Structure 1
Amino acid sequence: MTTSVRNRQEASSRVATRVTAHVPGHVDSVDDDLGHVEHGVDVLDGLQKQDANHPHHRNQHPLRRVWLFLISMRTGLWIILLLGILTLFGTLLMQATPEARADEQTYAQWLAGTPSERYGGWVGILDKLGLFHVFSTWYFQGLFVLLSMSILACSINRAPKLWRVATHPRTSMREVFFTHAPLRATVDLPGDVETAAQQVRDALHGKHFRVIDGTTTTGADVYGDRFRWGPFGTVVAHLSIIVIMLGFVVSATTGFKDTDFIAPVGVDVPVGHGTGLTAKALSFTDTYYENGSPKDYVSDVVLTKDGKQVARQEVRVNTPLIYEGVWFHQAFFGIGVDVTVKEQGKEIFRQMVPLKWQSNDGQQSIGQFEIPGKGVSVYVIQAASGQVLKELPAGTAQFEVHKDGVENPLGWPVIDQGKSADVDGLTYTFERNRPYTGLTVKQDKGSWLVWLGSALLIIGSYLVFFMAHRRIWARIRSNGDGTSRVMVGAPLKRDPAFEPVFKNIVSTIKTSDA
């Protein structure tokens, strides 16, 4: 009795797809092998992505579903997209300073100023949404925490599988892999199977591949790989992002940054913030090129602690003074006015008032100070550098005195240097002009974490892009005529430079018997 062609094809198909006894590191069917070739290295080793919407997953424990949500690539992409949109808002819209937001009245005045002029009737809505302080909102910080959790979960989920691939790799593949692999070759060599297998091993060793023999009982299987630790670059890169974000959190919660630290020349100024330091600018010099552009700003700064000098340095824009993790950067400079205020002969205020602002026409330099406990605010006005004003001759300063709850100024006397004037029971004295240097003082306890995270990011990126895991499988079987057939295959995934290496190995196998 003969078998029809159709029946023979069906029988052949059943044989081809029949599940074989499972051997660790082997696939179970021809269809599995084809899927492995199509999807690449991750699927070869069981690292394929898991679908959280699969019916099997929907019936799992809630904690398991949370875990699948965190390790989902879709989750990470959505979080990054939302953070990107919020960051765009924070970049395009004006952002209130922490100092302005710390006081309700100051914040209301800030909103009524430039934001109202720029955004009109949208100000109230934007404020309700927190878009004037995006980076401190609960939802922005919450997304950052969620992103950190997702990155950590992905790393925890992936690392054991990568470890298994690196330490216990799959060493044998079925024949269908070698007929469909992106990189493949078939070579017939003279000699028995073991001789041919040794030639494959020698060729792989010659390219610095690790070589492991397969577990087949018919013929020989040889596996070779290089850069097996390369895939861990993704884990290192992911963890680096967490370390960098942790550094920012540490910096924001434990450090400080004062961008408006003014040190009058010759005056001790406490640094504050629990540092116990006092700063004094012994001198300040500024030099210019012939065309008038600034050449150098230099402050000779001395630091003292507990009455003892602990540091001294000439501080420049790119040469900060660093002591016990506190950085002093040169930021700006200017002229101030030494002011003394007395009440019935008793001194209640003595300070150098920096003239930090200019009038709209640029003719006047303006400073401002408040007298504690008196509800008095005073503007100190002088002619700007290079300006000649009849109402403000050189060597004079105008004191415009305001009081809380009073619409008009209480007085605006022009006082000569060394002279005094009385306004509403207080005596104001213009002692002298004094130069000052402006410093940015900061203590960033999380900076080392940011640097560490940046280094890890570079290392992880290098591993991913320049040390891709290269793997080759060889299947050696006897032809029955004194020769052996060597089938060589390899996946090609994000590593185009591997193809010439593969061809060179195949060429070495072909010529090794010569």
Structure 2
Amino acid sequence: MTLDNSASTSTTSSWWLAPWRFVRQEILPVLTDLRLAIALLLIIALFSVSGTVIEQDQSASFYRTNYPEHPALFGFLTWKVILTVGLNRVYHTWWFNALLILFGSSLTACTFTRQLPALKAAQRWKYYEEPRQFQKLALSAELDTASLDSLAPLLQNRRYKIFQDKDNILYARKGIIGRIGPIIVHIGIVMILVGGIWGSMTGFTAQEKIPSGDRFQVENILNAGPWSNTKHLKDWSVRVNRFWIEYTPTGSIDQFYSDMSVLDNDGKEVDRKTIFVNQPLRYRGVTFYQADWGISGVRFQFNNSPVFQLPMAALNTSPQQGRMWGTWIPTKPDLSEGVSLIAKDLQGMMLIYDSKGQLITTVRSGMAADVNGTKLKILEVIGSTGLQIKSDPGIPIVYAGFAILMAGVVMSYFSHSQIWALQKGDRLYVGGKTNRAQVAFEKEVLEILNGLNSQSTVAVS
């Protein structure tokens, strides 16, 4: 009894090749379709815009207030839609990352199936050995007296790379870098996509509002990727040495600053910087942005009493009134009487109201007022700094991708020019083509022909 080993081997080989055949025949044509790439790019751009317009990483109550069901924004955009779809955290949703992966796969497939073969084809050359072949070129000429030997130096002076196996035929090209440019562009875009995905998977976003003089560790994390590493945040802390605001002569805010120190677990300062808008503090991959400010408390005393400090809370005011903070200060030890103190900023006037809501007087920091039979002196209004804290390990990859993308765009502007020449007896046939800058190429070829022999009779087709 004999076994047909060839049939068994053929069956096994077919089984292994079947998946690849399916990918090549069914998947790759779809991935490399230009229409798919354009559609994905537009969808990604659309959701990126929505992530910019719709506030990200806010509380559910924020979206309920700003995106009610009646009336719905644009007739459909409500807080339920935003929270269900994930428009409140677009860049961290699975479907947005899936779009990025699909777009990157399309570019990668296009690179391997189209751009690399085009580059290989551009690196190969063939000679034209018959005059009729020159008639297919967009630009061709026939010279009566010029020779092939005099053409080569002219091409070399114009940085053409010359290939010549026989005495009567020649091929020259330059600008092959222009064929590499699109591949570099694709690599840059894919790196940007990889950086974005890596950042969403490994980064985190946090917010803290810290009173001036307090020390804190990053704990209020709003959003973190599944692979984010926050353990190292316990190894150090940050102290807000001082927070202050600079005002314009008209009383509006010019800039607000936070003098911040990074401390190790022993309390030793390892870094320090004064941050303001667009000038953050960076430490161990974590960036602290100056994003907001507030009033955290007030320091005061009665007559010659010790100094007291009470917290101040943000009041629920209308947008026309602006932001305000308030607290209640007891004026008797048994807390039976007291006054309300309201402040709008760190330098402005503070309002004091009695228990009936009547305005008693106004004061500024360092001033005293008589209230309920005692002298109340406001020593200081304590500001708090609002910090937006981010860690995005994908940023270096994104920046590198942008640099590669820009380099690829510049490389793509180089024209890939080709010139063929054939010597047949006393006649020289010259022709060429280029993939862009056609007018400039025609001018260059004419200059080369004129340089061959200014007295030649040239018939240009």
Does the pair score TM above 0.5? yes
Note closer, same or farther for the CA distance 1:389–1:169 as it changes in structure 2 (3 Å cut).
Answer: farther
Q: 1:111 aligns with which of 64, 70, 93?
A: 64
> Equivalent residue of 2:397, what SS?
helix
AA aligned opposite 2:141: A
Matches of 1:363 and 1:88 in 2, distance apart?
29
Note closer, same or farther for the CA distance 1:129–1:298 as it changes in structure 2 (3 Å cut).
Answer: closer
> Equivalent residue of 2:436, what SS?
coil
AA aligned opposite 1:80: L
Query: CA offset at residue 321 of structure 1?
Result: 2.0
Matches of 1:131 and 1:224 in 2, distance apart?
56
Note closer, same or farther for the CA distance 1:365–1:183 as it changes in structure 2 (3 Å cut).
Answer: same
Query: CA offset at residue 242 of structure 1?
Result: 0.9
Instruction: Please say which of residues 113-122 and 444-453 is displaced more in the overlay.
Output: 113-122
1:234 aligns with: 182
Matches of 2:49 and 2:152 in 1, distance apart?
55
Query: CA offset at residue 156 of structure 1?
Result: 1.9
1:52 aligns with: none
> Equivalent residue of 1:284, what SS?
strand
Which structure 2 residues correspond to residues 454-493 of structure 1 after superposition, within 5 A?
Answer: 454-465=402-413, 467-478=414-425, 483-493=426-436
1:301 aligns with: 260
Which structure 2 residues correspond to residues 245-256 of structure 1 after superposition, within 5 A?
Answer: 245-256=193-204
1:405 aligns with: none
1:365 aligns with: 324
Which structure 2 residues correspond to residues 54-453 of structure 1 after superposition, within 5 A?
Answer: 61-65=21-25, 66-87=27-48, 94=54, 97-100=56-59, 106=60, 110-111=63-64, 113-119=66-72, 122-123=76-77, 126=81, 130=85, 132-133=87-88, 135-165=91-121, 167-172=123-128, 174-189=130-145, 196-213=147-164, 220-258=168-206, 260-272=207-219, 273-274=230-231, 275=233, 276-307=235-266, 308-337=268-297, 355=314, 358-360=317-319, 362=321, 365-366=324-325, 382-385=342-345, 386=349, 388=351, 390=353, 391=357, 433-453=381-401
Cα-to-partner distance string for 1:229-259 (whole Å, 9 max, x where unaligned): 221110110111110111111221212233x
Unpaired stretches in structure 2, ≥5 consecutive residues: 1-19, 220-229, 300-308, 328-339, 364-373, 457-461
Contact 1:199 1:512 in 2 (8 A): no
Contact 2:415 2:434 in 1 (8 A): no
Unpaired stretches in structure 1, ≥5 consecutive residues: 1-59, 101-105, 191-195, 340-349, 369-379, 397-415, 419-430
Query: CA offset at residue 182 of structure 1?
Result: 2.1
Matches of 1:364 and 1:229 in 2, distance apart?
59
> Equivalent residue of 1:489, what SS?
strand
Query: CA offset at residue 148 of structure 1?
Result: 0.6
Matches of 2:77 and 2:123 in 1, distance apart?
59
Matches of 1:178 and 1:442 in 2, distance apart?
62
Query: CA offset at residue 508 of structure 1?
Result: 1.9
TM-score, normalization by structure 1? 0.64
AA aligned opposite 1:301: M
Contact 1:172 1:214 in 2 (8 A): no
Query: CA offset at residue 449 of structure 1?
Result: 0.5
Matches of 1:444 and 1:417 in 2, distance apart?
52
Query: CA offset at residue 455 of structure 1?
Result: 0.3
Cα-to-partner distance string for 1:81-138 (whole Å, 9 max, x where unaligned): 333444555566x45x3353xxxxx36x733653324417735684597274455554
Note closer, same or farther for the CA distance 1:446–1:150 as it changes in structure 2 (3 Å cut).
Answer: same
Contact 1:214 1:223 in 2 (8 A): no
